[in-house]
Amino acid sequence: GQNIDQPTEMTATEGAIVQINCTYQTSGFNGLFWYQQHAGEAPTFLSYNVLDGLEEKGRFSSFLSRSKGYSYLLLKELQMKDSASYLCAVRDLDYQLIWGAGTKLIIKP
């Protein structure tokens, strides 16, 4: 079957760095997405990886290793507004997105 694993919840301190991991087992791989979802709101697109390596976008970076079925989202200089759920999604062989359950990130002052 297809499976996306992320930690359920993480806690970090304002100003610090946090890494959210995602491992996947899917029927084929056609890219990996990270989305941010604030409570009660819609998911919003953060990043996309299709090749191995690091993609940097401001305070957020995303890494992919296809051979290990592994990705992480790195958030630097954490701000209170970064408190949200972070969703990992993999596009499979049929080009449909398979979603993880999300990681709830709690930022403490």
87, 103, 105, 107: residue in contact with other proteins (rule CB under 8 A) = 87
Nearer to other proteins, 39 or 80 (CB): 39
51 is an interface residue for other proteins by CB under 8 A:
no
Using CA atoms, how far residue 99 sits from 6, 41, 43, 78, in Å, is: 10, 17, 12, 24
Q: Is 46 exposed, middle or buried (0-12, 13-18, 19+ CB in 10 A)?
A: middle
| Contact window for other proteins (CB under 8 A) among 15-23, 56-64, 65-73, 89-97 | 89-97
93 is an interface residue for other proteins by CB under 8 A:
no
Nearer to other proteins, 41 or 56 (CB): 41
60 is an interface residue for other proteins by CB under 8 A:
no
Contacts 24+ apart (CB under 8 A), 58-64: 60/34, 62/32, 62/34, 64/32
Q: Please tell me the count of residues contacting other proteins according to CB under 8 A.
A: 21
